[in-house]
Amino acid sequence: MIFTVGGIKGGTGKTTLSTNLAIWLSKQGADVLLVDADEQESASDFTAWRDETYKGALGYTLVQLTGGAVRRQIEQLRPKYDHIVIDTGGRDTASQRAALFVSDVYLLPFAPRSYEIWTLSKVLALLNEVQPGRLTPLKIYSFLNKADTRGQDNGEATEVLRENAELNYVDFPVVNRKAFATAASKGLSVFEALPPDEKAIAELDALFQHITHASK
């Protein structure tokens, strides 16, 4: 299965989700390819730190691809891996569009802030352009990432996402926790960091379990 983690707004935690998803899948025995299709190369930087920690035993394979090469190369690489996770930038780029044409699943994290939700129209416009050109519909899952532990922002953002049926909102929010940044600074997922943050682990596991089972 090919997953693209994307969106139009930067700073929504796409790379954190991409790297944690790749490691989560690999821990289940899958052969995983992580594609860094973001010009900022954050997934590559994370993997470099991870290589220092695990001395080459990453648990996944990393490649960097941009533009139209994303689609061409992934179509060739698809048979070699159980799963492919594509980390794209927070803009409407040629890389993200190419990824959407070849992916099975599109993960759309939204932070619960008004300026994040304003990008919905742009995301919908992108999907309206991509979906007609695909042989099968792209499976889409939107959800709250970097959610607040309390307050009304979560509820307001959820309401807006629910109103847009095309985005297929799933109620598996991931709270903005220090554990994610702490783990990433060591090249680790939250599933590996010590001491473990059980809440962060449970939130990501619930989200990933739902997406992978619902997409079969």
Question: What pLDDT score was predicted for residue 129?
Answer: 92
pLDDT of 113 strictly over 90: no
Q: What percent of the chain has pLDDT over 70?
A: 97
CATH architecture entry for 2-214: 3-Layer(aba) Sandwich (3.40)
Euclidean distance between CA atoms 22 and 52, whole angstroms: 18
- Quote the mean pLDDT of the chain: 92
Between 9 and 20, whose confidence is greater?
A: 20
pLDDT of 11 strictly over 90: no
CB of 64 within 8 A of CB of 96? Answer: no
Map 1-15 to HEC letters: CEEEECCCCCCCCHH
Other Cβ atoms closer than 10 A to 177: 17
Which helix (H) or strand (E) covers residue 86, if one does? strand 83-88
* 6-15, 86-95, 141-150: range with highest mean pLDDT: 141-150
pLDDT in tens, 25-68: 999 999 999 999 998 999 999 999 999 888 878 999 999 999 99
Domain residue limits, the chain? 2-214
Token readout for 5 is 């983690």
pLDDT of 121 strictly over 90: no
pLDDT of 91 strictly over 90: no
38 exposed, middle or buried (CB, 10 Å; 0-12, 13-18, 19+)?
buried
pLDDT of 9 strictly over 80: no
